[in-house]
Amino acid sequence: MPTDSERMIVRRHVPRRAALLVLLAVLGALAGLWGAFEAGRSSAGFSLRRALLEEHARAAEIGRLTARVHDLEARLAAAELARRVDRTAYEQVEKSLAELQTRIGDQSQELAFYRGIISPSDGLAGLRVQRLRVLPGVEPRRYRVRIVLIQAARQDAIVSGSVDLGIDGLRAGRAASLPLAEIGTASKTLAFSFRYFAEVETEIRLPADFQPQRVQIEVRPARSATPLRETYPWKLETT
């Protein structure tokens, strides 16, 4: 029997070449699998290069559409601003036109007023009532009566006198007439003295159960025994 010194210990070593072959085999298997995967995708109509090109094209299209959207938004904002400016300008022109028409109307009334003084339409000279206005007062059932007197055609002398008025209407369902002495809140008589025209005004207060219908005006010139009487429908103005 061999002795302990004569025994041999045999150890097996894996050569490096064998390890390299194993590695190459693994890599080859992976490459084969990748090739098979690519072959499958190619057979199904998929191409990585084509996919990248399509993705690039989509990105470019998205960029173009985004720029288009921004351009349209800018145009829309500009159009909205222009619309607002145009609307503002239109409103200003409309307001100026309304003011001009009001001024023209006022001047036309003034012109008609002075024409009535200088050359009355009926050709008659003398004292007359040119205009009557009834305006609201500071309290309910209070009113301001404003009368414009003119001396038409002839202004060679000053005319003077007084004005009286009364309100006709219905009171408790019956016809009634209220004189200025009963309904006037301040002055009971309205005096005037002028050469061309004058405006007299008084405030009246009507009973709660009275419904006005007409205004009776009586102008009494100081140098004439014949008074001038006029009747006007009750018409309340706001301005």
167 CB contacts (<8 Å, ≥6 apart)?
177, 178, 183, 204, 206, 210, 212, 214, 215, 216, 234
Q: What share of the chain has pLDDT > 90, as a percent? A: 30
**Residue 178: predicted pLDDT:** 95
Tell me the Ramachandran region of residue 45: left when phi exceeds 0, alpha when psi lies from -120 to 50, beta otherwise.
left
Beta strands 159-171 and 174-179 are: antiparallel
- Identify the residue whose tokens are 């490459």: 31
The residue-averaged pLDDT of 20-36 equals 67
- Identify the residue whose tokens are 């008025």: 165
Bigger pLDDT: 33 or 133? 133
Res. 31 pLDDT band, cuts 50 70 90: low
Burial of 183 (0-12, 13-18, 19+ CB in 10 A): buried
The residue-averaged pLDDT of 198-203 equals 92
**Residue 19: predicted pLDDT:** 66
Res. 226 pLDDT band, cuts 50 70 90: confident
pLDDT in tens, 127-140: 889 889 999 998 99
The residue-averaged pLDDT of 173-177 equals 93
pTM of the model: 0.54
Domains of the chain listed by start with CATH number: 126-233 (2.60.40.10)
**Residue 161: predicted pLDDT:** 93
Res. 214 pLDDT band, cuts 50 70 90: very high
pLDDT in tens, 116-172: 666 666 666 678 898 899 999 989 999 999 999 988 766 678 889 999 999 999 998
Could you give phi then psi for residue 31, rounded to 5 degrees?
-60, -40
Output the average pLDDT for the chain: 81
pLDDT in tens, 80-126: 888 888 888 888 888 888 888 888 887 877 777 677 666 666 666 67
**Residue 110: predicted pLDDT:** 74
Bigger pLDDT: 138 or 47? 138
- For residue 99, CA distances in Å to 89, 92, 102, 104, 113 come to 15, 10, 5, 9, 21
Secondary structure in 3-state letters for 103-145:
HHHHHHHHHHHHHHHHCCCCCCCEEEEEEEEEEECCCCCEEEE
